[in-house]
């Protein structure tokens, strides 16, 4: 059995579908493409698909990935071609490769945040607060606690999870390129960052377009 | 697609995927070649509307025409409605994101009475007056179809026309007609006068209702050349009529998320409470080859891992034993589950049972409908207690530990003994479980018992009966709960006020249009949703309009009384319904149509041919 990693993008209106919905869409795509994939065993067998790192609803992904196990004979190129034919709009197959890195080696993800403000003055004030906070190295926000049930929140210093932060102003937009902690040990959702900056600056973000661009390992080399 | 101005709000509403479109197999056309636009509206949320087979059929059919663009429209949930009203975004079609008020047709499928306020709300969100008379232009033509169109009188004020019966042919005729009238620059009136000549098209504004002093109808008069009676449309050959090979595959999980193929239309059973069992007659079957190849195409084009065979009573399909092996031949290999809903307990054979073993088991549901044999005979639910119990026994032997039971409260002639009988029957099913020597160790049985309130419906033998009042329903619910002494049976009940309103509108006349509009203006929408249902506002709306809901639901009508739907012809004759009613009151059953033709009259809709008679 060969384990392959399918790299795909999730762009445009499909950003409004949840991770679970994405999973179901991929299951159906695999069925339509009649891929010789390994099915989970048990009461209700399903094609085995494991997503490397789920993407939150509302965020686009330029280079996402999921793993499958191939049972029959099929090359990565053939798999890519077969899957490409059946994808819904907004989901495109970029590449299929044998699995190289384990999912647990993911440490960071890079994002592009395009934040729209009601005025250029708002954008400027927000931009200045953002730079100041990152410079100072402290921005406390409440994050759902990982362990335990219910709505327990814990306070975290977000800036500790910001590996890289570059921002610029364009009229009433603030454009941010950031690399944030990602993966199973520590994960910073970019919405948490933008909302914390919104709270800190007291300036309302009118709309946020966020794209996850790439996943990285601890040494900042791309996850493959 | 959705309007650009909505973008910044989509992440602030629940399930934004309801509003974005772009699903696999949705049809987006070049506007240049397709100038007839049809907005197919389902007056409830996306997940419910997208599960509806009729919409899938008509959407595909209309889009198969080069000149037509059909788009889907659902009722936005309240959070989205608030955004749309605040930001002044009119209701749009999911394919283009463009306002539906600019479409040629706005077609609503009317599946249940408690969706009526949603219809008005959607028209209003579209930016249109809700009253047909105030929409003066030729387009959009607002039309309605589906089961509630068999008595559309409570909606008469809001719709330009209704389509009675099956829509595959008549929708196309209407489209052609409107296309011509657009070219001729006709007025809406001119179009409607021509449309009412198409069989199956009912234009309510061409009919006038008159009333006796006491409020009963005295006459329904056709005017301006409209036909005295409008006969419903019936597709005569289900093998050659259009059937979709593709379904739109939603990203969101919907209620029935699977491929569906019809086995037949109509029903041979004649359960006297069941409107569907009468209004879809005469029975017509599809051949197994056609069903099988449609199932296959649907699964290939959607990637669904379940296909469901759809009909009112699956095991009455005469060629099920031919179809199943052909289906299972490829579904098993492809990892696809075959779902057979609506199986009857009394007529499935050993062979069928064995074939079903290859099918993944899902929940098990029995619908005895009534608790005693006497009452089951009254409603012509031709099933005996022994059949129910042996069905349960078989199921428990097969390893099931949970069953669902459906009953109705308030059926005609019901006594407290019948209500108690429901509890007794449920207890006997529990006992069956524990008397099974092979029952799984350490496992209990779970019988969920659902009791709804009976709603007398038009075109059934019970169309003249009084419905129980909400108070009577409540008393019966409490009584039944008391009689259930085991914790293995968990009862659930329908909201009695909802059943009551459903009853009022099912048999209502056109004066009720005012009540629907008032209730909607006062804030009612999504009335079939428990957390949105506002009975007080409804009560108030009746008062404001000077109408008593009890007049429509709580009195026995004389068989000579003119009924609001008497000018609509669904094939089955009043004489037949009267005979059935009399037999019901005598506790006599009627054999199913294949055993003995009961002379319902519906075969005349199909050139005198009925599949049950051969």
| Residue pointed to by tokens 């946020």 | A208
Q: What is the DSSP string of B137-148?
A: SS-PEEEEESGG
Asked if residues B204 and B159 have their Cβ atoms less than 8 Å apart, the reply is yes
Q: C-alpha angle B544/B548/B549, rounded to 5°?
A: 110
Tens of pLDDT along A55-109? Answer: 999 999 999 999 999 888 889 999 999 999 999 999 999 999 999 999 999 999 9
Residues in chain B: 614
Nearest Cβ partner of B303 from A16, A22, A28?
A28
Tell whether the model's pLDDT for residue A45 goes beyond 90.
no
Most A CBs within 10 Å: which of B80, B245, B251, B298, as the mutation test of the A interface? B251
Q: Is the dihedral of CA B288, B293, B296, B302 positive or negative?
A: negative
Residue B38 covered by a domain: yes
Q: What does the block give as tokens for B583?
A: 């037999």
φ, ψ dihedrals at A43, nearest 5°: -60, -40
Residue A148: burial class (beta carbons within 10 Å; 0-12, 13-18, 19+):
exposed
Instruction: Determine the Cα–Cα distance for residues B340 and B327; give it in Å rounded to an integer.
Output: 12
Binary contact (B303, A29; C-beta < 8 A): yes
Residue B159 covered by a domain: yes
Q: CA of B353: how far to CAs of A117, A205, B357, in Å?
A: 64, 61, 7
Instruction: Determine the Cα–Cα distance for residues B69 and B83; give it in Å rounded to an integer.
Output: 27
Asked if residues A12 and A87 have their Cβ atoms less than 8 Å apart, the reply is no
Closest among B351, B378, B371 to B580, alpha carbons compared: B378
Min Cα–Cα distance to chain A from B83, Å? 14
Instruction: Determine the Cα–Cα distance for residues B274 and B318; give it in Å rounded to an integer.
Output: 21
Instruction: Determine the Cα–Cα distance for residues B130 and B269; give it in Å rounded to an integer.
Output: 39
- For residue A102, give every residue at least 6 positions away whose Cβ sits within 8 Å of its Cβ, in sequence order, or none: none
Predicted pLDDT of residue A29: 96
Residue B493 covered by a domain: no
Predicted pLDDT of residue A150: 63
Instruction: Determine the Cα–Cα distance for residues B589 and B578; give it in Å rounded to an integer.
Output: 14
Residue B165 covered by a domain: yes
Helix then strand count (H, E) for chain B reads: 19, 19
Instruction: Determine the Cα–Cα distance for residues B251 and A10; give it in Å rounded to an integer.
Output: 13
Residue B561 covered by a domain: no
- How do strand B207-211 and strand B217-222 relate by DSSP bridges? antiparallel
Predicted pLDDT of residue B399: 77
DSSP B149: G
Residue B406 covered by a domain: no
User: Could you list the residue range(s) of the whole structural domain that residue B74 is in?
Assistant: 4-231
Q: What does the block give as tokens for B11?
A: 């992440």
Tens of pLDDT along A155-213? Answer: 889 999 999 999 999 999 999 999 999 998 899 999 999 999 999 999 999 999 999 99
Band (pLDDT 50/70/90 cuts) for residue A152 is confident
**Angle, nearest 10°, between helix axes B416-434 and B385-397?**
30
Tens of pLDDT along A202-215? Answer: 999 999 999 999 99
Min Cα–Cα distance to chain A from B88, Å? 17
Q: In which element (H, E) is residue B430 found?
A: helix B416-434
Predicted pLDDT of residue B335: 86
The total number of structural domains that make up chain B: 1
Nearest Cβ partner of B22 from A18, A32, A90?
A90
Flag whether the pTM goes above 0.90: yes
Predicted pLDDT of residue B133: 97
Tell whether the model's pLDDT for residue B355 goes beyond 80.
no
Residues of A at the B interface (Cβ-Cβ below 8 Å)?
12-14, 16-18, 20-22, 24-25, 27-32, 39, 44-46, 57-58, 86, 88-90, 116, 206-208
Tens of pLDDT along B370-429? Answer: 999 999 999 999 889 998 898 888 878 877 888 899 999 999 999 999 999 999 999 999
> Which residue of chain B is at minimal alpha-carbon distance from A32?
B303
Residues of A in contact with B304 (CB under 8 A): 28, 31
Tens of pLDDT along A1-15? Answer: 889 999 999 999 999
Binary contact (A16, B253; C-beta < 8 A): no
Instruction: Determine the Cα–Cα distance for residues A10 and A19; give it in Å rounded to an integer.
Output: 11
Residue B250 covered by a domain: no
Binary contact (A86, B303; C-beta < 8 A): yes
Residues in chain A: 224
Nearest Cβ partner of B304 from A22, A28, A44?
A28
Q: What is the DSSP string of B288-352?
A: HHHHHHHHHHHHHHH--SEEEEESS-GGG-TTHHHHHHHHHHHHTTTT-EEE--S--SSS--HHH
Tell me the three-class secondary structure of chain A, residue by residue: CEEEEEEEEECHHHHHCCHHHHHHHHHHHHHHHCCCECECCCCCCCECEEECCCCCCCEEEEEEEEEEEECCCCCHHHHHHHHHCCCCCCEEEEEEEECCCCHHHEEEEEEEEEEECCCHHHHHHHHHHHHHHHHHCCCEEEEECCCCCCCCEEEEEHHHHEEEEEEEEECCEEEEEEEEECCCCCCCCHHHHHHHHHHHHCCCCCEEEEEEEEEEECCCCECC
Closest among B114, B107, B22 to B504, alpha carbons compared: B114
CATH number of the domain residue B86 falls in: 3.40.50.280
Tens of pLDDT along B38-57? Answer: 999 999 999 999 999 999 99
Residue B611 covered by a domain: no
Instruction: Determine the Cα–Cα distance for residues B455 and B459; give it in Å rounded to an integer.
Output: 12
- For residue B614, give every residue at least 6 positions away whose Cβ sits within 8 Å of its Cβ, in sequence order, or none: none
Instruction: List the single range of A37-51, B248-262, B270-284, B495-509 with lowest mean pLDDT.
Output: A37-51
């Amino acid at each position: 059995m060969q384990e392959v990693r399918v790299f795909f993008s999730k762009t445009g209106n499909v950003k409004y579908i949840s991770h679970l919905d994405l999973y179901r869409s991929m299951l159906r795509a695999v069925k339509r493409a009649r891929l010789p994939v390994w099915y989970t065993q048990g009461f209700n067998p399903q094609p085995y698909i494991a997503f490397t790192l789920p993407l939150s609803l509302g965020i686009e992904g330029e280079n996402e990935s999921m793993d499958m196990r191939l049972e029959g004979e099929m090359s990565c190129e053939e798999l890519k071609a077969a899957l490409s034919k059946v994808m819904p709009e907004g989901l495109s197959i970029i590449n299929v490769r044998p699995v190289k890195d384990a999912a647990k080696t993911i440490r960071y993800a890079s994002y592009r945040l395009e934040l729209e403000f009601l005025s250029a003055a708002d954008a400027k004030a927000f931009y200045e607060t953002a730079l100041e906070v990152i410079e100072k190295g402290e921005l406390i926000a409440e994050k759902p606690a990982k362990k335990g049930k219910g709505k327990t929140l814990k306070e975290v210093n977000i800036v500790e999870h910001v590996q890289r932060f570059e921002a610029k102003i364009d009229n009433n937009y603030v454009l941010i390129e950031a690399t944030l902690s990602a993966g199973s040990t520590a994960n910073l959702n970019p919405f948490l960052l933008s909302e914390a900056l919104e709270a800190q600056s007291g300036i309302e973000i009118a709309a946020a377009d966020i794209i996850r661009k790439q996943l990285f390992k601890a040494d900042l080399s791309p996850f493959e | 697609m959705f309007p650009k101005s909505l973008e910044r709000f989509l992440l602030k509403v629940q399930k934004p995927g309801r509003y974005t479109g772009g699903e696999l197999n949705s049809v987006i056309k070049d506007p240049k070649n397709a100038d007839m636009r049809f907005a197919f509206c389902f007056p409830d949320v996306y997940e419910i509307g997208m599960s509806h087979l009729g919409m899938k059929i008509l959407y595909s059919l209309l889009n198969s025409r080069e000149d037509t663009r059909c788009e889907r429209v659902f009722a936005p949930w309240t959070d989205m409605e608030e955004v749309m009203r605040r930001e002044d975004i009119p209701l749009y079609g999911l394919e283009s994101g463009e306002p539906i008020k600019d479409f040629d047709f706005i077609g609503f499928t009317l599946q249940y009475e408690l969706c009526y306020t949603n219809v008005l709300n959607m028209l209003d969100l579209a930016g249109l007056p809700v009253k047909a008379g105030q929409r003066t232009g030729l387009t959009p033509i607002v039309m309605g179809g589906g089961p509630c169109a068999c008595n559309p009188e409570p909606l008469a004020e809001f719709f330009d026309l209704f389509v009675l019966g099956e829509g595959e042919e008549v929708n196309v005729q209407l489209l052609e007609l409107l296309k011509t009238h657009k070219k001729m620059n006709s007025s809406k009136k001119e179009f409607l006068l021509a449309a009412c000549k198409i069989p199956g098209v009912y234009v309510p504004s061409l009919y006038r209702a008159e009333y006796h002093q006491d409020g009963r109808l005295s006459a329904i008069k056709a005017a301006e050349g409209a036909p005295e009676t409008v006969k419903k449309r019936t597709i005569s050959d289900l093998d050659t009529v259009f059937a979709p090979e593709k379904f739109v595959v939603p990203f969101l999980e919907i209620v029935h998320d699977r491929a569906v193929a019809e086995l037949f239309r109509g029903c041979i059973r004649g359960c006297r409470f069941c409107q569907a069992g009468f209004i879809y007659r005469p029975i017509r079957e599809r051949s197994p080859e056609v069903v099988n190849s449609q199932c296959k195409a649907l699964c290939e084009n959607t990637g669904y891992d379940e296909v469901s065979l759809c009909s009112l009573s699956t095991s009455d399909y005469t060629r099920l034993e031919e179809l199943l092996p052909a289906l299972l031949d490829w579904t098993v290999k492809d990892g696809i589950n075959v779902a057979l809903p609506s199986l009857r307990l009394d007529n499935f054979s050993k062979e069928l049972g064995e074939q079903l073993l290859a099918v993944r088991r899902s929940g098990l549901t029995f619908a005895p409908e009534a608790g005693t044999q006497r009452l089951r005979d009254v409603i012509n639910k031709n099933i005996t207690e022994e059949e129910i119990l042996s069905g349960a026994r078989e199921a428990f032997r097969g390893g099931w530990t949970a069953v669902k039971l459906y009953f109705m409260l308030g059926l005609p002639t019901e006594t407290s003994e019948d209500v108690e009988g429901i509890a007794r029957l449920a207890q006997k099913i529990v006992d069956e479980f524990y008397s099974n020597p092979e029952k799984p160790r350490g496992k209990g049985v779970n019988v969920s018992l659902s009791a709804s309130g009976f709603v007398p419906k038009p075109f059934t033998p019970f169309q003249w009966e009084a419905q129980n009042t909400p108070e009577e329903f409540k008393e019966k619910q409490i009584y039944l709960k008391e009689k259930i002494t085991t914790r293995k049976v968990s009862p659930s009940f329908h909201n009695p006020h909802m059943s009551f309103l459903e009853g009022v509108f099912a048999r209502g006349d056109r004066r009720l249009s005012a009540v629907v509009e008032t209730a909607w203006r006062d804030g009612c929408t999504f009335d079939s949703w428990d957390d949105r249902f506002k009975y007080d506002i409804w009560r108030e709306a009746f008062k404001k309009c000077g109408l008593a809901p009890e007049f429509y639901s709580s009195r026995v009508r004389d068989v000579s009384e003119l009924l609001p739907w008497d000018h609509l012809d669904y094939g089955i004759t009043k004489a037949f319904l009267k005979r059935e009613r009399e037999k019901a009151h005598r506790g006599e059953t009627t054999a199913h149509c294949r055993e003995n033709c009961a002379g319902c009259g519906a075969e005349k809709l199909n050139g005198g041919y009925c599949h049950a008679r051969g």
